[in-house]
Structure formats: structure tokens, C-alpha cells
Chain A
Amino acid sequence: AQSVTQPDIHITVSEGASLELRCNYSYGATPYLFWYVQSPGQGLQLLLKYFSGDTLVQGIKGFEAEFKRSQSSFNLRKPSVHWSDAAEYFCAVGRKAAGNKLTFGGGTRVLVKP
């Protein structure tokens, strides 16, 4: 069965500093990987996705993620965080064969210090 692990429950970062959120997956086939962001009380917004091709993926809001098959990882990065990046971030694996079901990681809450 597929699974997604986000090892960091909380991360605190200073405004202007870089951010990296870790995501590890377990999946037998080619993974379809997503990062979503959720502000408090809001829905999920797609940041970026990886289906195939270039392993460095650019997303919205200045985020990027790198797919590393050898490490089963899909880490999210941003060079310089803004206060508005404070939110919950979810990594997810999609599985077409299971009705397009998404398996989410537990989430990482990002706090931004002024």
C-alpha cells in the first residue's frame, strides 16, 4: 500500500529565510506527486505537481520541489519565505488505478517569525 510521510510536524522559520519541507513516499509504481497548501480554515491550494520529466518542478508563489526516485523523496523548497507563507503544507501521492485517490502525508505546519 502507498504511504506518504512528512517527518516534520512543525517548522518555524524567519521571514526572508529559506524553507525546505520534507516528503517521503512509499509506492510500488511511478508516483504522481503533489504539494498542496492550506491556510487556516481554508481549502487546499495546489502548489505544484510531478507526473514525469524534469525532476525539478516549479510551482506557484515561488515554490519548487525536487523528485528524487533513489531517495523516494519529493521535498518542497522556497528560497525566501514571506509572512503569508505561514500555513499547513500537505504532500500527496496520487494513484490512478484506485480511482485517482490521493494519499496525503500528515502535514507540516509552517510558522513564520517576523
Chain B
Amino acid sequence: DTEVTQTPKHLVMGMTNKKSLKCEQHMGHRAMYWYKQKAKKPPELMFVYSYEKLSINESVPSRFSPECPNSSLLNLHLHALQPEDSALYLCASSQALSGAFTDTQYFGPGTRLTVL
């Protein structure tokens, strides 16, 4: 089973709201990722977690706050977003960042975020 689940599927929020996106996997993967994808563009990496610790932050604004409470769960907390943050937010997971080879990343279906 290579399933990554994301909730909610769709989210509409105002610029003053606080909301959270959730990602879950039960494949025993120890690396998890957040990507942002604008329309007609490839995904852009935001954050990487390895063994529940933040490994990479691609200079993402602080209004995006990731959290990895356990090895199966990854959250993205949103606060004071801008309309230009509207996008598809994708979560992915892979076995681990250690080892000889680049690990295969498995993606969830995404959360379509609209900021009004």
C-alpha cells in the first residue's frame, strides 16, 4: 500500500483565519514533505521532515508553520495567508533520507487552498 492521505480536500479561508492541513501515511516512512503547486506549474518543495525533525525549509514565509507530531502525521498550520498563497498543497512521504539511494516519494491527492 503506497497511500498518503490528505485532509481537507478543499479549503477556503480568509486572510485573518488560522487553519491547518493534515497529511497521514501508514507505510512506515520516516521522511515527509510539503509541496506547493500553482496552476500549470510543477510542485515546489516547501519543507522536509526526517524522523520527525525539520530537515529542510526552502525559505518559506513564517505564515506557513509545519509540524510533525509523530512518524505518521504531518501538519501544515496556516495563518495570515495572502491570496497569492492559493494553490494545491501536496504532501509526500518516502522511506527515509538515509541510505545509498534517493528514496521514492509517494504523493497524496493534495488540498486545494483558496485564500480570499
Contacts and interface: CB of A to CB of B under 8 A. Distances in A.
A40 to B, nearest CB: 10
Interface in A43-72: 43-46, 49, 51
Interface string B89-116: 0101010010111111111111010000
Interface stretch (A17-25, A76-84, A95-103): A95-103
Interface stretch (B43-51, B63-71, B75-83): B43-51
A107 to B, nearest CB: 6
Contacts of A32: 101-102
A10 to B, nearest CB: 11
A51 B106 CA distance: 16
A95 B102 CA distance: 6
Nearest to B91: A43
B6 to A, nearest CB: 8
Q: Which of B41, B48, B105 is packed against the most chain A CB atoms within 10 Å?
A: B105
A51 B50 contact: no
B48 A99 contact: yes
Q: Which of A41, A105, A106 is packed against the most chain B CB atoms within 10 Å?
A: A41
A38 to B, nearest CB: 9
A41 B109 CA distance: 8
Interface of A: 32, 34, 36, 41-46, 49, 51, 90, 94-96, 99-102, 104-107
